[in-house]
Amino acid sequence: MIRPVTLVKPVLFVAALVPVGLLANGLVNGNLGVNPAETLQVETGIWALRFLFASLAITPLRRLFGWNRLVQYRRMLGLFAFFYASLHLLTYIVLDRYFDLSGIVEDIAERPFITFGMLAFALMIPLALTSTKGWIRRLGRKWQLLHRLVYFSAIAASLHFVWKVKVAIGEPVYYAAILAVLLGFRVVWRFRPAAASKRGRPAVPSRQVTTPGNHG
């Protein structure tokens, strides 16, 4: 008999493909609005952010509630973030710039939201390439240090979204606020042992779990 827990990964994998399936269906059937290219760019970008934030949320959930099993899904969430970010970039290159490399370079140099978007994607590349167990063994302690690039990638991605929309309210700001909470938790947790010791109470160290995608 298959235990329910063994079904979580395949179910999560299939669920993570649903957005791209719906977009593909909408494209084929002409249901992506008056500007399908814009819809594809926006939706793939938002889903990249969602999966990236979901991977970042694993550590707070594990530390606050002891849900250590969530760690095994972080690598998959991170790779799906890279997958949707790749689609986001591809729609820009193909449907927006029509493979005009000089135009793309000009955009990166002159349009800040493109600059931050490219930076966010560039920082995700080494994370995706070194997400395997083999790379974890090769890099040792350097692996976890390298994978802290995910924080900078998430910040750049959020700035990319906010700068593109150019509004101080709405969805981009909500995502920026979520990121602030996720990163703020890590700052508070890092200084928690020191604060506890100053108050004369013993600090309980958090147990580290070495798994693919463990960026703390």
Task: Summarize pLDDT for 175-207 with one digit per residue, the tens.
Answer: 999 999 999 998 898 887 654 544 444 444 444
Q: Which two tokens stand for residue 86?
A: 């790749």
Residue 51 tokens read as 């999966």
Task: List the single range of 46-50, 73-77, 137-141 with lowest mean pLDDT.
Answer: 137-141
Question: pLDDT band at 168, cuts 50/70/90?
Answer: low
For the segment 4-43, what is each residue's pLDDT rounded down to a tens digit? 567 888 999 999 999 999 999 999 998 998 999 999 999 9
pLDDT tens track for 87-129: 999 999 999 999 999 999 999 999 999 999 999 999 999 999 9
Distance between CA atoms of residues 216 and 147, nearest Å = 9
- Give mean pLDDT, residues 37-52: 95
Name the one residue in this structure whose structure tokens are 């990121």.
Answer: 179
Q: How far is CA 132 from CA 14, 28, 109, 137, 179, in A?
A: 21, 35, 33, 9, 25
**Per-residue pLDDT at 165 exceeds 90:** no
Domain boundaries, the chain: 4-28+35-189
